[in-house]
Amino acid sequence: MWRRFNPFQSALFRNFRKQYTTKRIRINEREFEIRQLNAGDIKNLLDVQRKVYEGETPWVRSAFLSELYSRHAHLYLGVLEENQMIGFMGVRVSLSDGHITNIAVLPQFQGLGIGTILLEESEKFSRSLDCATMSLEVRRSNQDAQRLYRRFGYVSRKVLPQYYDENQEDAIDMVKYL
């Protein structure tokens, strides 16, 4: 009987947290650490958001806690230089989709390839759970991020009108077929 429902079987049993092995990478003679995040990192996540989003924090502490303790398979990674958080990414798996919930890199570190590394790690995680797609939303005004996602194979699905609460900006819903 399980064979008949095989596409759904794996989705039912994804409520676990995969462990991520901390990595060290070098970019332009600088060393960075990529590690799995936990509730103790939330203050740093909020600080990164404030710097990336000009004082705003699109996600509040309770939203991060909800994600970090979610029963759905998920992975939150931080990139650190000398123990200082410079970027992070979150991905949550629902059915056969790895949804990027968050990705942010401090402005002075953008363009170094850190966003690319985070996207690659999110894709590896999603593939390891047999996801068929990856998805995300991006601000309509964030052309740099849209270019990065398109380079990674994401395509626009639709516009989500007034998606962002703080300024009613539209979002572009994007998907990548794995």
Note the pTM of the prediction, 2 decimals.
Answer: 0.85
Q: What is the CATH number of domain 17-130?
A: 3.40.630.30
CB neighbourhood size of 91 (10 A)? 29
* Residue spans per domain, the chain: 17-130
- Report the chain's mean pLDDT, rounded to a whole number: 89
pLDDT in tens, 12-45: 444 445 678 999 999 999 999 999 999 999 999 9
pLDDT in tens, 112-149: 999 999 999 999 999 999 999 999 999 999 999 999 99
Residues of the chain by 3-state class (helix, strand, coil), percent to 5: 30, 35, 35
Structure tokens at 48: 């990164």
Query: Rounded CA gap, 177 and 155, in Å?
Result: 9
Query: Rounded CA gap, 145 and 149, in Å?
Result: 6
